[in-house]
Chains A and B, each alone.
Chain A
Amino acid sequence: MADLISVEDCEAIEYAYAQGWTDGLPVVPPTRDRVSSMLAAAAIDAEHVLGAVPERRRLITAGIAAANAVMAGCRPEYFPLVLAALEATLDPAFKLNTVTTSTGGAAICVIFSGPMAEAVGMNGKHNALGTGNRANATIGRALRLVASNALGAKTGRLDATSIGHPGKFTLCFVEDAPPLPWLPLRVQQGYSPGDTTVTVIGTEGPRQVANQLSERPEDVLASFVVQMKTASSFIVGKGGQCVVVLGHEHALAIRQAGWTQQQAREYLHRHSRVLPGELAAGGIHLERGAQHDMSVGPDGRIATFRSVEDIILVTAGGPGAGWSAYLPTWAPTLHSRAVVRRVRVPGEALPDCGPDGCALPMGLAGPAAEA
C-alpha cells in the first residue's frame, strides 16, 4: 500500500483540499481501513497493475484506484465496477492521455449494463444521468479522481481543458431494460444476458432531446438527427461516436412501430450525414490537408459517424414525457474510441491486460528505463 499520512481526524477533509486531492467537492478521507475494505471487496492486491499511461510514465495500480474510489464516496461493493471501468479507460484505443488533456474537456462517460450494476443500486430510471444516486455519482467520480491524482490531469498541470462541463465531475449510469424484444446493451455488444459490461466513451455533456408530440419513429429519430448535425459540434463531418439514450417513451414509440434497434441506428447513421453547406451555415469550414478526413461522398454529404457501430443506443430514464439524451464524443475516432469490458466477479482470475496495456512501452518511458 502507498505511503501513510497522519492527520487529525477533524482536519482530514481540509487536508485533502490543501493537498489538491479533490475535484472541488469534499472527499471521504482515504483511511487505511477504508482502502483495505475496497480492495478486499474486489479480492485484488494493492500492487496489482491495472494498466499504463506511457505518455505520462504512469502505472495505475489497484491501490491507487481504491484510495481514489474511497475519496469519491464509493462503497466497497462498487469497487469491481470501478476497476472494470478504469481498466477500460486504460485500453490504448481509449487514449486516456488524450481524453484527459484535450482542450475539448471530455467527460469520461461510463455506461453499465447488467445485473452487477443493478445489484449495487445503480439508477437507470428517473434522473439516470442526474443527481441522487450514490453508485452512479461516485463510480464516475472515482475515475475522474484517478485521472486527477494519478495522472496529473489538473488545471494548470496536464489537463488543458478550455471550458469544461459538469460531466467532468461524473457521468455514469446503468442502462434500464429496453422494451422487449429489444436487446440490452451488453447483448448488443456480444455478451450474455447474465454478464455485466461497462462501456467508457469520452463525451461532451449530455444534450436533452425533447419530442412530445409524435410517435412516428422518423420524427423521434429526426429529433436526434438535428442534434447530431449541429455544425459546431467538433465531430460533425469528421467521424465520431455517440451515445443515444432513449427515454422509455421514445424507445417504445420506435419499437411499437416495429423497428429494431439496428434499424434505428441505421436511420441515425444515414440521416446524420451532413452537407458542406450545412456546416458553412454554422460558420464551420471544411478541414483540408489536415488530419481529419472531411471528404464529400457520392451523396454530396460527409459522414458524422463512419459506421453504424459508432452509434451506441441504450434505454434509460423514467417513464413519462418524451425526453431523451444525446452525447456525442468530444473528438473524432481518430483521437479516441469507446471501449467495452466485462465486469469481473470478485475473485475471478485476472486476465492478461494485453500486449501494451500493463507495461510502459519503453520508448516513451525513456532510455534509462529501457536499459
Chain B
Amino acid sequence: MTMIQLVDPTLPDEPPPVGRALASRRPLGPSTRLTLVDNGKPRARELLQLIADGLRVRCGLETIRIVSKGTASRVLDDAEVADIAATSDAVIAGLGDCGACSACSLADALRMEDAGVPATVLISDVFTGHIAAFAATMGMPGYHCAVVPHPVSTKDAAQLAGFAAAVTEQIAAQLSG
C-alpha cells in the first residue's frame, strides 16, 4: 500500500463567519420609510409595488421609494447602500427569479442589514435552495426570504396581485422582527 499526499484543491463552501447579524427591528407603521430595490427583472417592479401597496394598507406606510439597480447581476455599491440607509427604515430587494439575480438581491439585502436597515429578499420558489447556499456563503446562514411561485415574468396582473397578497404578511413579519 503506497500512500500519497494530496493538496486540497478546494475552498470551504462556507467561509469563516464574519459577524453578520440582522439589523434591529421595530414595528412597521406610518413613519416607516420603505425602499424597494428593483433589480430590473421582468415584472419585478410591478410585483414589488404591489407588495408595498399591501404593506401600506396593512401597516399604514406613507413613504415608499423605488431604487432601480439597472442590472440584476450586480450588488448595490457603497454609495447606493449609504444613500438607501440614510433614507430607509426597511428594504425589500428583488426579484430573484434566476441564478445571478437571486444571489445579487440576497447580497443587497445583507448589505442593508449590515448598514442597520431591516431587509428581506423576494425570490421565486425554485431558488430557495440556491439562496440558502449563498446566504451561508455570505456569512448569514438561514437568512429569511419571501417566496412567490415561479415563474413570475409570464403572469398577468391579477396573478401578480395574488402573489403579492400571499407574501405581504410574511414580509411585514420579516421586516419588523
Chain B binds chain A: yes
Interface set of A (CB-CB < 8 Å, partner B): 1-10, 12, 15, 19, 21, 29-32, 35, 54-58, 63-64, 66-68, 70-71, 95, 97-98, 101-104, 145, 149-152, 156-161, 287, 289-292, 331, 334-336, 361, 363-369, 371
The segment from B3-11, B27-35, B56-64, B169-177 found at the interface with A is B3-11
Task: Please report the C-alpha to C-alpha distance between residue A7 and residue B3 in the assembled complex, in whole angstroms.
Answer: 5
The segment from B68-76, B86-94, B141-149, B156-164 found at the interface with A is B68-76
Contact A55 B10 (CB under 8 A): no
13 interchain pairs (CB within 8 A)? A4-B6, A8-B1, A29-B4, A57-B15, A70-B9, A95-B100, A104-B99, A150-B11, A160-B100, A363-B78, A363-B111, A364-B111, A367-B18
A6 and B137 in contact, given A67-B8, A156-B129 (Cβ under 8 angstroms): no
Which residues in A have their C-beta under 8 angstroms from that of B44?
A: 290
The answer to the question of B120 belonging to the interface, with a C-beta cut-off of 8 Å to chain A, is: no
Residue in B closest to A153 when the chains form the complex, CB atoms: B99
Task: Please report the C-alpha to C-alpha distance between residue A47 and residue B78 in the assembled complex, in whole angstroms.
Answer: 29
Contact B4 A335 (CB under 8 A): no
- Residues of B in contact with A, size category: 35 or more
Interface string of B1-43 (1 = CB under 8 A from A): 1111111111101010111100000000000000000011111
Which residues in B have their C-beta under 8 angstroms from that of A160?
A: 98-100, 102, 127, 130
Contact B19 A367 (CB under 8 A): yes
Residue in A closest to B74 when the chains form the complex, CB atoms: A95
Closest beta carbon of chain B to A191's beta carbon, Å: 29
Which residues in A have their C-beta under 8 angstroms from that of B6?
A: 4-7, 12, 15, 29-32
Task: Please report the C-alpha to C-alpha distance between residue A211 and residue B114 in the assembled complex, in whole angstroms.
Answer: 57
Contact A102 B99 (CB under 8 A): yes
Instruction: Give the tally of cross-chain contacts (CB within 8 A).
Output: 179
Contact B99 A103 (CB under 8 A): yes
Contact B45 A1 (CB under 8 A): no
Contact A149 B7 (CB under 8 A): no
**Given contacts A334-B71, A363-B78, A368-B19, could you give 16 more A-B pairs where the C-beta distance is less than 8 Å?**
A5-B8, A7-B3, A8-B2, A8-B4, A30-B9, A32-B7, A54-B75, A57-B15, A58-B11, A68-B9, A70-B9, A151-B11, A160-B130, A290-B41, A291-B40, A363-B111
Task: Please report the C-alpha to C-alpha distance between residue A368 and residue B110 in the assembled complex, in whole angstroms.
Answer: 13
Contact A145 B73 (CB under 8 A): no
Task: Please report the C-alpha to C-alpha distance between residue A4 and residue B9 in the assembled complex, in whole angstroms.
Answer: 10
Contact A55 B4 (CB under 8 A): no
Contact B73 A9 (CB under 8 A): no
Closest beta carbon of chain A to B27's beta carbon, Å: 25
Closest beta carbon of chain A to B96's beta carbon, Å: 10
Task: Please report the C-alpha to C-alpha distance between residue A57 and residue B110 in the assembled complex, in whole angstroms.
Answer: 13
Residue in A closest to B110 when the chains form the complex, CB atoms: A366
Task: Please report the C-alpha to C-alpha distance between residue A189 and residue B162 in the assembled complex, in whole angstroms.
Answer: 52
Contact A2 B137 (CB under 8 A): no
Contact B81 A363 (CB under 8 A): yes
Closest beta carbon of chain B to A339's beta carbon, Å: 15
Contact A7 B4 (CB under 8 A): yes
Task: Please report the C-alpha to C-alpha distance between residue A166 and residue B114 in the assembled complex, in whole angstroms.
Answer: 40
Contact B3 A9 (CB under 8 A): yes
Residue in A closest to B97 when the chains form the complex, CB atoms: A103
Residue in A closest to B4 when the chains form the complex, CB atoms: A9
Which residues in A have their C-beta under 8 angstroms from that of B107?
A: 55, 364
The answer to the question of B104 belonging to the interface, with a C-beta cut-off of 8 Å to chain A, is: yes
Contact A2 B75 (CB under 8 A): no
Checking B39, B73, B127 against A95 with a beta-carbon cut-off of 8 angstroms, the contacting residue is: B73
- CB-CB nearest 10 A-B residue pairs: A291-B40, A160-B99, A368-B19, A366-B18, A67-B9, A335-B73, A98-B100, A98-B73, A9-B2, A101-B99
Residue in A closest to B10 when the chains form the complex, CB atoms: A149
